[in-house]
Amino acid sequence: MIKKDIKVDGMHCNSCVLAVQNSLEDVEGILKANADLDSGIVKLELDSDNVSSEDINEAVKEVGFKVVK
């Protein structure tokens, strides 16, 4: 298992957090996504390094947010 942290811009409520987490967990290879509303940091647990940054960015974008680089 691989752990990775990303910063997501625009989350302002618990519904935002759930939307981001659920969208990320729908990506094949992402086992768990745990978003922190205050910091904007999402801790990811990946089953391999085959999950691309593009896959992650697209999942976040689909629910209306942006990964900060």
Give per-residue pLDDT as tens, 10-45: 999 999 999 999 999 999 999 999 999 999 999 999
Whether the predicted pLDDT of 49 surpasses 90: no
Number of domains the chain is built from:
1
Q: CA-to-CA distance for 9 and 12, rounded, in angstroms?
A: 9
Domain ranges, residue 38 = 2-68
In SS3 terms, 1-69 reads as: CEEEEEEEECCCCHHHHHHHHHHHHCCCCEEEEEECCCCCEEEEEECCCCCCHHHHHHHHHHCCCEEEC
Q: How confident is the model at residue 46 (pLDDT cuts 50, 70, 90)?
A: very high
**Triad 61, 63, 65: Cα angle to 5°:** 50
Task: Decide: pTM greater than 0.85.
Answer: yes
